[in-house]
Structure 1
Amino acid sequence: MDAMRKQLDVLMGANRNGDVREVNRKYFDRDVCRLFLAGLCPHDLFQLTKMDLGPCPKVHSLQLRKDYEEVKAKGSENFDRELEDMIDRLIVECERKIQRALKRLADEDAKAAIAISVSEVTQAEDVAQLSKEIKEKMKEADNFDFEGKTDDKIKAMEVVEELRSKRADMQATLLLDAFNKDRASIPQTTPTPQIAPVPAPPPPDARTQELINEKLSKAEALGEQGLVEEAQKLLEEVETLKKLAARQEPASDPSKYTVADVRITDQKLRLCDICGAFLSVYDNDRRLADHFGGKLHLGYMLIREKLKELQVLNVMFHFLL
């Protein structure tokens, strides 16, 4: 019920029922979300992911945000520090998760994974332009919301989703190019001239292949949710199934094979330095686009961009002083 109430508040306003108390509420009231007023509430970021915090217990109101911004412009109030502290805690925890994953993989294979700088390899003028258009469209949607134009807001958000999907496809293409170069640098074993080439192993039987596809899909979903260890375990089981199929060993119940059977060293995993999700140099553009369009990645991208914005404002403020 709380989640549904929050959604109605966003679409129709918190005072949709004519609650007099809502009319009299001020931006500085204790039940008003200061983080929302400052521009970003963590409860809105990671819905339906492992990081989901549920609906915010405090009031989100665009009218109160406007009141706050007017007072802030006069230098009377500033909640940026509270927002910066919250964002900093989220980013620190994400960085710890990345380092734990890298250490765990390094224990198995020192070259099994690295933290790839997604923000660097996906830098492009077209990507930056789409990000700018998304921000402008989001502001337009907020204005429609403030004016009570629900239909216009919905149309604006549909455009936002289209732009995000286009940006995700573009970022996936750029990252795929980087991965192609990455794969080219991976040493490949070549057969000795005196030895006859080994025939390619037969493909897994239908049941094994079905399990492989199922585990890959689950691993991808877990990675998007930030469940690093669970995703890694499934990838290891996939590798086990492939190795066993290549050896043509009978598998009456291949789903029971675990990590202990075969060590994973061939996945060549990479960790996204923005959200900490697993990526593989063997991923295709569709899988990579799903990653860039996922709520976990988008959420961490938003808070990292907001942190940079707040830091720039801090520098400007101290410079003016």
Structure 2
Amino acid sequence: MAVLAAAQLLDELMGRHRNTNPNEKIKKPNWEDPEYCKYYMVKFCPHDLFVNTRADLGVCPKVHDEEVKDLFEKAEPSYKKSQYVEEFLRYCRHMINEVERKILKGKQRLELMNSKPECPPMTQAQTEKNQEQVKLLSEKITALVQEAEEAGTCGNVEQAQGLMKLCDRLKEEKDSLLKQQENSHWSMTAELAAAQEKQMEVCPVCGAFLIVGDAQQRIDDHLSGKQHVGYFKLRQAYEEMNEAREKEQQEKRRREERDRDRDRSSRSSGGLGSDRRDRERMDRDRERDRGDRDKDRGDKEKERDRERHRSSRDEKEKSRHEDRDRDRERERDRESVRDKDKDRERERDRDRERDKDRKHRKERRSSRERSRRRSRDRH
């Protein structure tokens, strides 16, 4: 992504043909080439709407060129141009559906947060009564357990089993009372938290959470933010283009109906001559449709050839980069080996110097020792 951003910046500063040789013939731009961004030519590129936000789509891998956009707008209506518009509308519809799902989830989350607990909180008197019942049940359970143990030691197995069953029922009743008390505590805590929290709402454009009755400055900051402005622009463009397309389709249907009515009236009044004209017109329409299909097929073949050529060129460039990286790695390995050899050689030189110093010191000590002995011998 960083390489693509740097390449686009260089294209804006130095032009798209910055790497061509002076004697090389520059290819004229064509809006049908696959290297140009279709969305940018139709209206705008969605990758430019949410830069440095949570909805960032990254850098667009295609080329954005104003000259090519002008060529696209000036080009005559064709099947390929309508396909570009349809693809832009599909992509906008996909992004709008995603943000609509986000808005729905946010509303469901707020409804869940604002929903009241199932059981209402208990009053102070009910809580005290509940605690007394729990205390009495605990005492009864302890007494029954002792009686069951005494009956078991005396050999009354049936009596001991009956006491233990009664003890289990009392334990279940005690657990239900404790659970009711705990639910009441949590419901009170949830009510207090809901009372302390601020009321929230979901932005119907971008799906962000907003505080109800917030300061006007914060609301203005949100409305002028990239994410809100981007989704608003996306929705507005989709609605305008979709409405224009529907109007165009309705106008086309009206023209077709008028042509059919005119053909019926001419057939009813013109006889065989009108039939011949109809056949000739149908033949011309078929020939024109066949020519359009052949042109589209040829354009697709050219596009596939360009894609294959580009992929092979990318593969060759990638292999050259890999070979260059391997050569650099080998050179670094050789440099490291040479550095290690130099370090060893310097270490050997230092060892030799130390050996020489030790030998000289030893010789000086031995010469001093001999001179001392001679001096003692003379005295």
TM-score (norm 2): 0.42
Q: TM-score, normalised by structure 1?
A: 0.49
Question: Which of the two has higher C-alpha Rg?
Answer: 2
- More RCO (CA 8 Å, sep 6+): 1
